[in-house]
Amino acid sequence: MPELFNVLPPDEAREVLRSHVTPRLQRETVPTEESLGRVLAVEVTSREALPSFPRSTMDGYAVRARDTFGASEGLPALLTVIGEAPMGRAPAMRLGQGQAALCYTGGMTPEGADAVVMVEQTQEAGPGAIEVVRPVAPGENVVQPGEDIRAGEVVLPRGHRLRAQDIGGLMGLGVTQLEVTRRPRVAILSTGDEIVPPSTTPGPGRVRDVNSYTASAQVERAGGVALRCGIAPDDEEALLALAREALGAADALVISAGSSVSTRDMTAQVINRLGSPGVLVHGVSLRPGKPTVLAVCDGKPVIGLPGNPVSAMVVFELFVTPLIGWLAGETYPQEPRTVTARLTRNVASAPGREDWVPVRLVRENGEFCAEPLFGKSNLIFTLVRADGLVKVPLDKGGLYAGEMVEVRVW
Amino acid sequence: MPELFNVLPPDEAREVLRSHVTPRLQRETVPTEESLGRVLAVEVTSREALPSFPRSTMDGYAVRARDTFGASEGLPALLTVIGEAPMGRAPAMRLGQGQAALCYTGGMTPEGADAVVMVEQTQEAGPGAIEVVRPVAPGENVVQPGEDIRAGEVVLPRGHRLRAQDIGGLMGLGVTQLEVTRRPRVAILSTGDEIVPPSTTPGPGRVRDVNSYTASAQVERAGGVALRCGIAPDDEEALLALAREALGAADALVISAGSSVSTRDMTAQVINRLGSPGVLVHGVSLRPGKPTVLAVCDGKPVIGLPGNPVSAMVVFELFVTPLIGWLAGETYPQEPRTVTARLTRNVASAPGREDWVPVRLVRENGEFCAEPLFGKSNLIFTLVRADGLVKVPLDKGGLYAGEMVEVRVW
């Protein structure tokens, strides 16, 4: 049972993987309204200026600013109201000296006007007349044509992951179709003679597959498409055949390794036979997750997750989630969801190793408490009881009860 | 142009709405593997114990713990190895006194064994024999049947939103189908004579619809189904007819109000005609978002968003996103995604009003800086430039440059 690892720190291991990954930028065109979470394959420029007309930002009166200069409560400017600027059409009137037109938020200001006085700063002065009690500067309360976006301006860069507001903004510019990268396809293979499909009743010594399903949901959450490729036995040739087929159909492959050392070593051997350069990292100074395998085989990333469900999920978060962003061509990865919480118990670690401790979050007196979940590491329901993970950095020997910690919610 | 508001603080306004909302718990059955983000309609209990057999957590030797008592480097316990416990099957052997069996992580321990010695704490002692150099306690390195989950135990409560690990854990228990609540359907209606569909070229004074699309993506992100119901003109009867039809097809209705005061007031009037009790809150001490309308009409929530795109998005985040969770029957809402950042400029507010300031996030020297985006409030692309919002609480007059603030990422 050899277990010799030349372990790398997690950040370094991730960089080694990243430096070997070429984003696969196959593009596809999708309706903008269905593009939430997709990554732009090209930069988007505006074909037109926004707004295309001078637009009031207030309910009030369109005026010539100079007609209001010097106006005050004591000495208001008297203006003649020549009409109302309609919503959704160009006003028919043209403002001359001493004239004003009623206008609404979002409406087009009439020709001749260069500012809008808020209705609150006017008072009626008989039929067809108002008094303005405060001066406005030219341009005040008006958005000028092109002030929001100029024609030809870059609206969003290539590699940007689309959010709700981007979709609204792009539709506002008439950009109803987008070139995005194809969702990365991630094949998932579980291994182990003891693993059976969840729909069956396991015989003695057997357990149902957990990791394929956790990993599939993690792929989906990261914006990829999961291809579940079944369960391989602890047999090198059988695993190789299944892995080859799975990788052929996907952009990356995740193998949830058998849990014993011998089958973990077999996973690394199989990965090396899938293509060159093969295994880049075998062993990370990480708990849980030490036996992680990071590899690239003929241009496609292959990750070997530990068999233990908690370890598998942690390693997926730290290595596969960012990988899916790289494959999609994302420039800036999303920050993980975190909450700040007070640690309820001491957590021991070892310097030189990065620990990710599963914690349960409990609300107490308006703050979150993070309760470390100890106990045997391969209990499946430690996963379910855990709301997130607390990191003990490489250079720390542990964390103290009462410390405020960042919990990475999962 | 009357604009009289009896404004409520945002938290109070949200509570008023919540107290009038009855979760609509229609159920549907979905495959567990497709349930990410759905809300459980029933509590899930385990039909069986997990694991169903005593399971080794280590690679090593299954032993009778008492045979190792007193063992040390100087005086190891000598045990006879009677075989290897296979993966995925019940071991055929039965351990007698002084005997051990090779076993692997995740494998079933043989009858007669009550503990596992890690391989690192043994050494070979000739063919078919090992020396154990450290004692193990009964149960050490073994997960007992039912230790992970007992038969009949509640695994997940009703109202729980399903995460990746829940799906893995449930599949591990053979729970391949789940009763979840139907996704809440949220109808979205834009209003305004100046609004045209994004696929058309706006004439003078007209702009393309933005809010319908931002809101649809926000609905999707919150786990609902968006039903876009078009654009209503600034005409009370036409708006009422469209709103009635939209609400009939949905569990809730969001109306993006016209941007002028008169059309905003019209929205409130129409909402009051949709059913009782009608408008609950008209006006919130919030910037942006003061003219928010919160209503319930014959059992269905109706929200009036301000027409300004930035305001509409903020009000959606604060009121409609939680509403979608309530409708789905979610017990604990997800914490919003936040990052901590250093504010780059002073932000002024008014005490008694809650402000949400759009900010851009910039990474500088390993920390985030939050740059407030000022400028005319109805620029559409303020939305796109903003990575999130910083809250100035009700009781504060502003925030200072250099303060560390929580940015709600959107």
The pTM for the full model equals 0.95
Residue type, B191: T
Q: Is A157 on the interface with B (CB under 8 A)?
A: no
Q: Which of A87, A198, A216 lies closest to B234 in CB terms?
A: A87
DSSP β-bridge partners for residue A253: A187, A302
Which residues in chain B are contacts of A202 at CB distance < 8 A? Answer: 52
- Is the confidence at residue B379, as pLDDT, over 60? yes
Per-residue pLDDT at B384 exceeds 80: yes
Query: Is some CB atom of chain A closer than 8 A to the CB atom of B169?
Result: yes
Contacts of B90 in chain A (CB under 8 A): 203-205
pLDDT score of B376: 67
In order of their start, the domains of chain A are 10-24+183-327 (3.40.980.10), 33-50+149-181 (3.90.105.10), 55-143 (2.170.190.11), 338-409 (2.40.340.10)
Residues 282-301 of A with CB under 8 A from B: none
Give the pLDDT band (50/70/90) at residue B377.
low
pLDDT confidence of residue B263 = 77
pLDDT in tens, B222-233: 999 999 999 999
Average pLDDT over residues B163-192: 97
> Between A and B, how many residue pairs show a Cβ–Cβ distance under 8 A?
300
CA distance A276 to chain B (A): 30
Task: State the nearest Cα–Cα gap between A85 and chain B, in angstroms.
Answer: 10
Cβ–Cβ contact B157 with A under 8 A: no
> CA-CA distance, B208 to B196, in Å (whole number)?
5
Which tens digits make up the pLDDT trace of A282-306? 999 999 999 999 999 999 999 999 9
* Mean pLDDT of the region B253-277: 89
- Beta-carbon separation of A209 and B33 below 8 A: no
Q: What pLDDT score does A2 carry?
A: 42
Could you report how far apart the first and last alpha carbons of chain A are, in Å? 34
Residue B36 above 90 pLDDT? yes
Nearest by CB to residue B148, choosing from A173, A174, A380, is A380
Say if the Cβ atoms of B165 and A383 lie within 8 Å.
yes
Q: What is the pLDDT of residues B24-35, one digit of tens each?
A: 779 999 999 999
Kindly tell me if the per-residue pLDDT of B1 is higher than 70: no
In the 3-class helix/strand/coil scheme, how is A329-343 assigned residue by residue? CCCCCCCCCEEEEEE
Using a CB–CB cutoff of 8 Å, tell me whether B107 touches chain A. Answer: yes
Nearest to B322 by CA among B294, B283, B281: B294
Give CA–CA dist B34/A104, Å, rounded.
48
Contact B76, B123 (CB under 8 A): yes
pLDDT at B25: 75
- Closest CA relative to residue B298, chosen from B236, B251, B238: B251
CA distance B57 to chain A (A): 7
Record: contact B218-A380, CB cut-off 8 A: no
Give the DSSP per-residue string, A388-405. Answer: EEEEE-TT-SEE-TT-EE
Q: What percent of chain B has pLDDT over 70?
A: 98
B168 in contact with chain A, both atoms CB, cutoff 8 A: yes
Both tokens of A347, joined, read: 């957590």
User: What is the arithmetic mean of pLDDT over B189-206?
Assistant: 95
Q: Which positions in chain A touch B195 (Cβ < 8 Å)?
A: 88
Q: Of B380, B410, B388, B390, whose CA–CA distance to B211 is shortest?
A: B380
Give residue B405's pLDDT band: very low, low, confident or very high (50, 70, 90): very high
User: Do the chains contact at A262 and B309, CB–CB below 8 Å?
Assistant: no
Instruction: For chain A, list residues with pLDDT below 70.
Output: 1-5, 259, 376-377
